Amino acid sequence: MNEAIRNLKPKALWNKFADLNAVPRPSKKEERVIAFMKDFGKSLGLETMEDEVGNVIIRKPATRGMEDRKVVVLQSHLDMVHQKNNDTDFNFDTQGIEMYVDGDWVRAKGTTLGADNGLGVATIMAILESNEIEHPAIEALFTIDEETGMTGAKGLKGGLLKGDILLNLDTEEDDEIGVGCAGGVDVTATGMYSEMDAPKNAIAYTIKVKGLNGGHSGMDIIKGLGNANKLMNRLLFVTKDFMQLAKLEGGSLRNAIPRESVAHVVVSSEEKFLAAFEKMKRDILLEYKSLESKLSITAEKSNETFNKVMTDKDQENFLNAMNAAHNGVYRMSPDIEALVETSNNISKVTVDKGNIKIENLTRSSVESSKEVLANALTSTFELAGYEVKLAGDYPGWAPNMDSAILKVLDGLYQKMNGKKANVAACHAGLECGILGQNYPKMDMISFGPTIKGAHSPDERASISSAQKYWEFVLEILKNIPKK
C-alpha cells in the first residue's frame, strides 16, 4: 500500500515520508522516532545530538558557494496526533501508518495520516540526505511533543542553535506564509459526585453521538462544527427528569474537536425519556444538517447492568456546568480579518465511578484575552464545586511584518506563482512563539503544503501541493541572504 506513495513526485520527499510513517510516533511516546532520527543523521555522517528533553538536532555544512549565507534552522515536530475511527483496528504504539492514494490526496486507512508535521520532517530529511540541493549551513531541529504541550520547544535551551533564520514547516495551506499564531493553555476541571442505587425496574440505555467531522481545534474551530461533548450534554439536559447518568465518555485529545461521545443512563420513565430525546435529536440534526452530514445520534436499550448512578443533585450540577462552559469561538480578531482571536475546545469529558474530569484547550493570540476566557471557565467549574487547574501555558507568536525572511518568501512566491501569497497569522499553535523566547533575535517564518482534516481520520495531504511546496523550499534555500 505504501509503495504507491514512494512513487509519487517529488520522490525524495514522499520516500522520506513513507520511511517516517513506518515508525510509531504518538505524542509523549517518541522514543522510537527519536532513535530513528538520530540513526538517520549519523548514517549521513552529520553532527547529530539529542538535547536533554528529546529534541534532535542535525547539522549540515553549506554547499559549495553558499558558505557566506546566513545559517538556517529547518524546524518540524516529530510527534503526530493519534486519532482513528471507532471501527478501525489499529495500535498507534506498535503500527506504522497505512497510506493510500486517492486522486490528488494521500490518506491513511481509518487513522490520522501524520502529514502534520510529518511532511515537514520528511522535507528536512530529504534536504539533509541530498548531495545536489543548494543550501546554506543548516541546523535541522526536530522537536518532540508539539501536539500535547509543546514541551520540546519549551525545553530547548538558548545557545544550542546558532542559526539566524528559522523556517518552520508546519503551515497547512500552500498559499499561506505564516507570521503569527495563537498561544494556549490547558484548563482541566475535576470533581467527585455521590452515587445512589439505581431505581428498581429502571431500563438501561446507551446514548451515542458519533459521525462528526472533528478536526483541528485551532484551525477548524471557526467552522462551527459539532462538538460531541456539547451535543451529548444537550441530550442529557432535556432528559434529566427521566434518567440518571451512570457513565459518560466523550472525546479523546485536547487539540481535536471531539467526534464521538457515549453515555450510559438508566431510565425510569421510558416514554417521556424517548419523547424528550427524539425532539432534541431532531433539533440537533436540523441545526447541523449542512455541516455534519454523517452525524448519528442514537439511544438504544442496553444489556449492561448499572447498580449505581449519579445523584439528582450532582447530575443537575454537572449538566449545568457543561451547559455554561463556553465552547467554540469566543472572540474574533479586530485587527486581522477572519482570524479567530480566542476560542475554547471542550475536548474530553469523563464521568465514571464517582469521578468527573472535563478537559479543555483554550487558545488566543492575545494573552489577556486567553486569561479572560480561562478565568471564565475556571469560574464556571468552580461554581459547580470542581477543582480547576491550568497547565501547559504557551505564548502566541506576534507577527513581525518587517521580517527580512518574510520579504524573501513573499517575493519568491509571487515570482513563482504569478500572485501574492496570503501572509497571515493562524489560530493554531506553532512553536515559533516559544522558540523565540530563548532565541529572540532569530527571524522566523512558517509555511508548508496543503493538508486538510488534520487531527482527524479524514486527514489528507495534497500531492500536487507537495510538489509546489517542494519547489518553493528549494528556491528559498537558494535565496537565503548573506551574513
- Beta strand extents in 88-218 (DSSP E only): 99-102, 105-108, 138-143, 165-168, 176-181, 183-192, 195-197, 203-210
Annotated active-site residue in 79, 170, 314, 431: 79
3-state helix, strand, coil in the chain (%, to 5): 30, 30, 40
End-to-end CA distance of the chain: 46
What dihedral angle (degrees, nearest 10) is formed by the CA atoms of 184, 185, 187, 188?
Answer: 120
User: How many C-beta atoms lie closer than 10 Å to residue 481's C-beta?
Assistant: 15
Three-state secondary structure string covering 76-117: EECCECCCECCCCCCCCCCCCCCEEEECCEEEECCECCCHHH
Which three three-digit cell numbers place residue 357? Answer: 474530569
Q: If you search the block for the grid coordinates 532513535, which residue do you land on?
A: 35
Q: Are strands 56-60 and 203-210 parallel, antiparallel or unpaired?
A: unpaired
Q: Which of 116, 146, 176, 220 is catalytic?
A: 146
The verdict on whether 300 is a catalytic residue reads no
Which three-class secondary structure state does DSSP give residue 477? helix
Which spans in 136-249 are helix H?
A: 151-155, 228-238
Q: Is 79 a residue of the active site?
A: yes
Is 446 in a helix, a strand, or coil?
strand
Contacts of 93 (CB under 8 A, 6+ apart): 24, 26, 29
- Provide the annotated active-site residues: 79, 146
